[in-house]
Amino acid sequence: VDQRAGVFRTGNPNEIVLMNGLVRRVFRIAPNFATVALDNVSTGQSLLRGVKPEASLTIDEKAYAIGGLLGQPNYAYLLPEWLDRMTADPAAFQFAGFEVGKTKERFPWKRVRHCADLPWPPPGVSLTVTFKPPAGLPASLSFQVHYELYDGIPLLCKWFTLANGSDKPVRLQKFTSEILAAVEESSSVEQTSIEVPRAIQVESDYAFLGSDAQ
């Protein structure tokens, strides 16, 4: 595709879109930040059936959602007209702003092989979303979710940073960096030999080469 990755506004003032002509991820930014669509642009396939938090944390024995919306009446599917009636969870981290930029290299790459002429970092766009903590957590906590979408490939990268700006220790015990209520690819009543191609393939920095893609 000729289209480059970018962050765009839609006709709704409360929405932004991350898209490169192959992948389209739509976010609501009010009343809280949440993914409300994830589409395969090539096929027109909608991959999302429900709105979930962007991430979750367990801090000092208590679980917290990052963004998200409440009030979806049916999680089997998602209708756009429901979104305006959905509400923010007051116990979750709340959207505080976003910044659009360019992709950055994750590590220095000494390119000496056949792919040495490829650009590094890979060209694309970055979206950094900032959240403020809910009541009960130190206001000095800074939480950011980072997205990168690359030109010419249906690949999106996501990670988060949590910073403590005070002298008081905060214990992060558990986290989930991506939560998607995705449409299931098949629902068989018995085991068959037919394999359905994955609509979403997930790779993690924690796989350490020994784990298959999910």
Query: Which of 187 and 208 is assigned the larger pLDDT?
Result: 208
Q: What percent of the chain has pLDDT over 70?
A: 90
The pLDDT tens digits for 48-79 are: 999 999 999 999 999 999 999 999 999 999 99
Does the pTM surpass 0.85? The reply is: yes
Largest CA distance in the chain: 57
- 10 Å CB burial of residue 131 (0-12, 13-18, 19+) is buried
Residues 6+ apart with CB under 8 A from 30: 14, 95
- pLDDT, residue 188, reads 61
pLDDT-derived band of residue 213, with 50, 70 and 90 as boundaries? low
Q: What is the mean pLDDT of residues 203-211?
A: 73
- pLDDT, residue 183, reads 85
Which H or E element spans position 92? none
